[in-house]
Structure 1
Amino acid sequence: MTLPASLTGIFAHKQKSYKMVLVLAVLDMMEEQKKQEVPITLARTQFLKQLQSRESQGLPVDTPPESLGPRWSEIQGYQINSLIRTPIEALSSVLVHDTGKHTLRFVDSLRAQWSESVAQELRELALRELDAYYESQQPLTSVSLREHLLKVMSEYTAAKREPFSSHPLGTFVRHTIPQELHGLPFIDRQLRIQGSVGMGNWATVPWIAIMDRRITETTQQGEYIVYLFAHDMSAVYLAFHQGVTVPLKEKGKVEAYKYLRQKAAEIQAKLPLGGMRKDQDIQLMSTGLGQDYQASTVAYYRYDRDRMPSDEQLLADLKNVVENYKLYVELTLNQPDGGQEEQVLNPTPDEVLLPVTPISVPAQLKAIQAYIQQKGFHYPEHLIENFYLSMKTKPFVILAGVSGTGKTRLVKLFAEALGATSANRQFTLIPVRPDWSDPSDLLGYKDLSGVFRPGKLTEVLVEAAQPVNRDKPYFICLDEMNLARVEHYFSDLLSILETQDWEDGHIVTAPLIQQEALSLEEDRERFGDLRLPDNVYLIGTVNMDETTHPFSKKVLDRANTIEFNYINLAQFPSAGDEGAEPQATPASNTFLRTEYLQLVDVYRDYKSLVEETTEKLVSINGILEEIHSHVGFRIRDAICFYMIYNERFQLLNPDAAFDFQLLQKILPRVQGSSSSVKRVLLKLMEEALGRRLATQELMEDASELYASVSKIDSAKYPLSARKIAFMLRRLEEDGFTSYWLS
């Protein structure tokens, strides 16, 4: 390949076909004129001829700007003087417009390298890019964006007079529209789509947002794309927008408006934003939130309900905004600071907030590991990554093992490393009592006078749910949670975990405490309709001995169970653990909060990984069916989410990640004394070792499997293989086995 490096990426960003057409026109004139510098009038004429030729042949072609007319065939060369200026400026790094001589030529550094092969390769590149561009302009999908927008606008006013909960229009905005938009070819896996009609009550301005996860995962701050519906449903705006909640909270209204308008001007100067309005005439509502939207909008399209454009136009507009947004994200990430702005809330007199500077997930986990080691504690390799992925998958994790292995300490130190301490009430230790028999021991109860006495968990949930705290993670450690029967006192929490749904940028659940269950107005105001916030993480520690209760499958289905049974007593604090006081690296709740609630949310983006993981689970399920311990969709989805997060953040190799999931989600379900249990364990051992075994012979004596550690260490899934070997040994020696026997 002889094409100079400066030419290879000139078509990476394009809004129309004009850059490719211009390059082809210049190359045509250079060949015809036998010169490296051509009159701009000839290049302009050739540029127009190419567009007219495609139009006359019925091939896909960009439509002319409205100011020029409906068809290229009706346009004269002189009329496109201003239009052709756009691709000339876009190609200014490689193409020189000599205004004195009225010519176009490639820059001197390219002319020095010019040859027929360079010209030919550049022509081929332009033609490939042109074909790819026009192919992308073909009908994008069967989605009727026009019908979807009109449906919301025609039904929303009436819907607001009806009950909010489970309303079909809410489901349509939160799920149907985002799912269909995800099917568009220009929406890639980095883009998260979220719709909202309010949180608990109908919103005045419903919206559907498209966010690049690398720069923001919330509509409260950062930049994103959004459809905003006017309060009277007379119009909908497609806007390049800035989050306004955090700037208002940090700076106050006057300074926040000034900041947002200045930032909007900076973005407008960086991007083409062709065809979009850049004024502040976005009319959603007359005051309050309406003014916030005006100050924070960068550019927009307005669609009136009675003049809604065609689907083709709506999709073309959306594609244009997405391409501008992608260009902005690329420019932002290429800044020296990675595009991350330090987010610091002004501390109130009674609390001091550590600054949160977003960093990558791997970097954050390394900081956590360093903090824990500086505190003098060491945990097995990849435990921190596994603990993180488990919480990210579901905010309920069980740490199991013999007493004194550091389970409770892990929770405390992990929380501290993220700035969550007992002092700021973001870490709470709740010792479980053996006499707990119902949820009131954890949530609270009404006394004889009708006053509600909140439990320790409820107090944490109330604080975590406060708007000022929603971006802070809260950790609750249920210490020795199986001293009482978990299903008795924890049943309400287990059920509530299954009601998670998205509302207004947060995950919400059904109420834990109903309004009508409270007698006093002040109790109803404080505790009524209390939900499990998405910034609360429940971690239970358990010791498995004769004084504790086993777990039911209802519990195991909803948690990752991380075991602490392999202990290296010869591990000592290193010299590097001494010295300066360890420093926390606080993170916002988006670091830990799950992003996926249903497999459909990620299936398109991670189709091959989901199918590969599911194929393994189908094989394992076939084994477990013999003892009626097979898993359902809940566990399949949870394991897929774990594997997806692992791939996204590149934390573990895929086999190591699946090994953790086999160990934590599958093996805890296996227990018993029958030959069927032994046969299942042997088949699972085949999966863990990655090879076939002489199962019939091993049914008589399986000691060779647990007598040789070297064979286990070389297994495909060594952690699971080691646990299965232990379970087989207990079965042969004691006549009964369980994951939980220590």
Structure 2
Amino acid sequence: MENNLEKQMDLRAGLSKVIQEWPNETKKPFSDNPLAKFIRSELTNIIGDLTSQYYPYKIKASAGAGNWANIAWLAILDKKVTTSTQEGINLVYLFCSDGSGVYLSLNQGTTGPIKRLGAVEAKKREKQIAKLILGKVERLVNWSSKPLNLHANTDLGMSYEKSNIAAKFYPANALPSNEALTRDLKEMVSIYKEVVEIWPSINSAEPPLMPTQKERLNLSALRHSMSESGLIFPPQLPLRFTAALQTKPFVILTGLSGSGKTKLAEAFSLWICESSQQYCMVAVGADWTNREPLLGFPNALDEGGYIKPDSGVLDLILRAADDSDKPYFLILDEMNMSHVERYFADFLSAMESSDSRITLHPEGGQWNECDVPATLSLPKNLFVIGTVNIDETTYMFSPKVLDRANVIEFRVSESEMLGYFDNPKPIDMERLRGQGASMAESFVSAANNNEQIAEKLGETLMPFFNNLQGVGAEFGYRTASEMSRFVAICTELSDSTMELNQVVDAAIMQKLLPKLHGSRNKIEKVLQALGSLCLKDSTQQPFQLNSEGAAKHSVKYLLSYEKLHRMHQRVLADGFTSFAEA
């Protein structure tokens, strides 16, 4: 009767049986133990029945060999990759030694590589394989790549914890329904199939597999690392941010306070840099009236002496100049706490000319012994990111500043906030550190490649030029060039995350609209005209809503349309509007 009941068990019942009985059964003799037999036989059959419709996988399970194992496991093996848990990639259920739960893990065999390569090289290879798979298989973004916590107390048991690629934990006291467990298994089997298809290219570089110094920038890997760290961003935002940095090494992040502006800048810097010496975050002070907080000043009491700023910015620039292949990041937090033009004017001028140099101190005489150069050019591998909050304590940007930057606005949608409340996660920025360092040189190289230009945008953008000209906000060749460059770079990086219309929409939002401001008499008709250009049928009247509160007409450029709509509402209510305040 007992055997018949066990044969009828579903996945949840089978996993639950092992979780509940393991702590007590492992205190009994191993020989002929019914739980050990169940794991090797009945549980294997349950998994085999669920996976056989996809492929004739080899199912192996173990509770020990002669003695109890520290960790019980059941593995799903594809013979094209491995026939043993000691090699290759496998899909495995790993049961915690204390009965606290079970993991479903995409895992690596470690015993074979250690025998062939030695422990040190095998560990390097293990980390790189995990990194490559996580970068190539985007569906793994919803699975955890953190080391497992099996409460193992043997070397073999602990090796299972560290070799995890992606996993999901099911606690004993909150085991999901059979339907949910089966759904997860089917999803991971599908992912395993994808891994098997790319395995030859991943495996061909052994032994040992080492990171390339110029690995192509992979935004799927960036998004995965951000998700693992607990950061929540819309999929398009990291793409727009990265493309904007490569277009022009000056990006301004504006929008709602606490919406993630500083976190995105910090996260990208942590992710792509191999050392903390490559980035510097500085809180802009309200008392910044000149460049000294950034660049320092000559010591008036000691000729030939130079006082470097406490902020570390000058040292960062000098390090960047000596290390041209790697990116360096200057993050100016709350950039508009002071008048930007007062402390940043030299930077703004230097950005526009390869020959422009910033003079720091005189040359000759006692200055020859100074360890700070007399003049300074901004290195091409230095990227400046400014964050902006708009309130009564801050200052607005001038057109000169806005014209030299890509301006990315942060907003939080209702669905995003609801998703956070439903599943809040702590943020662990250390999860990002150095994960994209192998792509750093590729990032810098692409940023310095001026040949990436999108063509034939005139038909799309000239109507915007003509309407902006009516309020003196038309754009020049620099903006046109940077928009064309952004469209080309963003399209190449996109990997289907954004369609062409969405890329153009982002370019309009980041480069054309930020300078738009004025009174109702000056700007209302222009806002309406620009709003119409954002519709698929530009002859329609913009900013009309249907009975459900949504746009009445079909929108072509959604980001720009919604921004223009908010600016239009603001100008009607207050008689004045600007990009930053709408």
TM-score if structure 1 supplies the norm length? 0.46
Contact conserved, 1:420 with 1:474, CA < 8 A, in 2? no
Deviation at 1:407, TM superposition (A): 0.9
Counterpart check, 1:688 vs 2:534 = yes
Distance 1:729 1:710, change over 3 A: same
Q: In the aligned structure 1, how far is the partner of 2:528 from the partner of 2:474?
A: 16
Secondary structure in 1 matching 2:357:
coil
Aligned match of 1:664: 510
- For 1:181-200, what aligned pairs fall within 5 Å after superposition? none
Contact conserved, 1:668 with 1:739, CA < 8 A, in 2? yes
Match of 1:588 among 440, 453, 456: 440
Counterpart check, 1:571 vs 2:419 = yes
Deviations along 1:227-283, whole A, 9 cap, x unmatched?
Answer: xxxxxxxxxxxxxxxxxxxxxxxxxxxxxxxxxxxxxxxxxxxxxxxxxxxxxxxxx
Secondary structure in 1 matching 2:482:
helix
Q: In the aligned structure 1, how far is the partner of 2:202 from the partner of 2:551?
A: 47
Match of 1:463 among 319, 322, 342: 319
Q: In the aligned structure 1, how far is the partner of 2:342 from the partner of 2:206?
A: 46
Q: In the aligned structure 1, how far is the partner of 2:317 from the partner of 2:235?
A: 33
Counterpart check, 1:483 vs 2:341 = no
- For 1:175-574, what aligned pairs fall within 5 Å after superposition? 336=201, 357-361=213-217, 364-420=218-274, 424-449=276-301, 450=303, 451-455=305-309, 456-466=312-322, 469-500=323-354, 509-513=355-359, 516=362, 520-521=366-367, 524-567=370-413, 568-572=416-420
Deviation at 1:574, TM superposition (A): 5.3
Deviations along 1:419-476, whole A, 9 cap, x unmatched?
Answer: 355xx3112111101111122232111122232112332111011112xx22221111
Aligned length: 371
Q: In the aligned structure 1, how far is the partner of 2:208 from the partner of 2:243?
A: 24
Deviation at 1:338, TM superposition (A): 12
Aligned match of 2:461: 617
Q: In the aligned structure 1, how far is the partner of 2:477 from the partner of 2:204?
A: 39
Return the letter of the residue paired with 1:711: A
Secondary structure in 2 matching 1:720:
helix
Deviation at 1:590, TM superposition (A): 3.1
Return the letter of the residue paired with 2:419: Q
Q: In the aligned structure 1, how far is the partner of 2:263 from the partner of 2:407?
A: 16
Deviations along 1:281-308, whole A, 9 cap, x unmatched?
Answer: xxxxxxxxxxxxxxxxxxxxxxxxxxxx
Q: In the aligned structure 1, how far is the partner of 2:240 from the partner of 2:563?
A: 17
Q: In the aligned structure 1, how far is the partner of 2:300 from the partner of 2:365?
A: 11
Deviation at 1:676, TM superposition (A): 3.5
Q: In the aligned structure 2, how far is the partner of 1:389 from the partner of 1:706?
A: 35
Deviation at 1:514, TM superposition (A): 5.2
Q: In the aligned structure 1, how far is the partner of 2:207 from the partner of 2:239?
A: 25
Deviation at 1:673, TM superposition (A): 1.2
Deviations along 1:189-222, whole A, 9 cap, x unmatched?
Answer: xxxxxxxxxxxxxxxxxxxxxxxxxxxxxxxxxx
Aligned match of 2:143: none
Q: In the aligned structure 2, how far is the partner of 1:616 from the partner of 1:632?
A: 16
Deviation at 1:342, TM superposition (A): 12
Q: In the aligned structure 2, how far is the partner of 1:561 from the partner of 1:342?
A: 45
Secondary structure in 2 matching 1:541:
strand
Backbone CA RMSD of aligned residues: 3.3
Aligned match of 1:122: none
Counterpart check, 1:741 vs 2:581 = yes
Deviations along 1:152-173, whole A, 9 cap, x unmatched?
Answer: xxxxxxxxxxxxxxxxxxxxxx
Q: In the aligned structure 2, how far is the partner of 1:517 from the partner of 1:712?
A: 66
Distance 1:357 1:529, change over 3 A: same
Deviation at 1:360, TM superposition (A): 3.1
Distance 1:401 1:336, change over 3 A: same
Q: In the aligned structure 2, how far is the partner of 1:706 from the partner of 1:532?
A: 51
Unaligned runs of 5+ in 2: 1-199
Among the aligned pairs, what percent are the same residue? 29
Aligned match of 1:728: 568
Contact conserved, 2:252 with 2:387, CA < 8 A, in 1? yes
- For 1:81-160, what aligned pairs fall within 5 Å after superposition? none
User: Greater RCO between the two (CA within 8 Å, min separation 6)?
Assistant: 2
Contact conserved, 2:350 with 2:378, CA < 8 A, in 1? yes
Aligned match of 2:106: none
Secondary structure in 2 matching 1:370:
helix
Deviations along 1:327-361, whole A, 9 cap, x unmatched?
Answer: xxxxxxxx9479999999xxxxxxxxx96554333
Q: In the aligned structure 2, how far is the partner of 1:556 from the partner of 1:419?
A: 27
Secondary structure in 2 matching 1:672:
strand
Return the letter of the residue paired with 1:569: M
Counterpart check, 1:718 vs 2:558 = yes
TM-score if structure 2 supplies the norm length? 0.58
Q: In the aligned structure 1, how far is the partner of 2:208 from the partner of 2:265?
A: 25
Distance 1:341 1:732, change over 3 A: farther
Distance 1:523 1:384, change over 3 A: farther
Unaligned runs of 5+ in 1: 1-334, 345-353, 501-508
Aligned match of 2:162: none
Aligned match of 1:639: 483
Q: In the aligned structure 2, how far is the partner of 1:343 from the partner of 1:443?
A: 45
Contact conserved, 2:252 with 2:406, CA < 8 A, in 1? yes
Q: In the aligned structure 2, how far is the partner of 1:536 from the partner of 1:343?
A: 33
Q: In the aligned structure 2, how far is the partner of 1:374 from the partner of 1:518?
A: 53
Contact conserved, 2:291 with 2:343, CA < 8 A, in 1? yes
Contact conserved, 1:553 with 1:669, CA < 8 A, in 2? yes
Aligned match of 1:176: none
Contact conserved, 1:396 with 1:537, CA < 8 A, in 2? yes
Secondary structure in 2 matching 1:489:
helix
Secondary structure in 2 matching 1:527:
coil
Q: In the aligned structure 2, how far is the partner of 1:677 from the partner of 1:459?
A: 45
Deviation at 1:635, TM superposition (A): 0.3
Contact conserved, 1:368 with 1:417, CA < 8 A, in 2? yes
Q: In the aligned structure 1, how far is the partner of 2:205 from the partner of 2:399?
A: 43
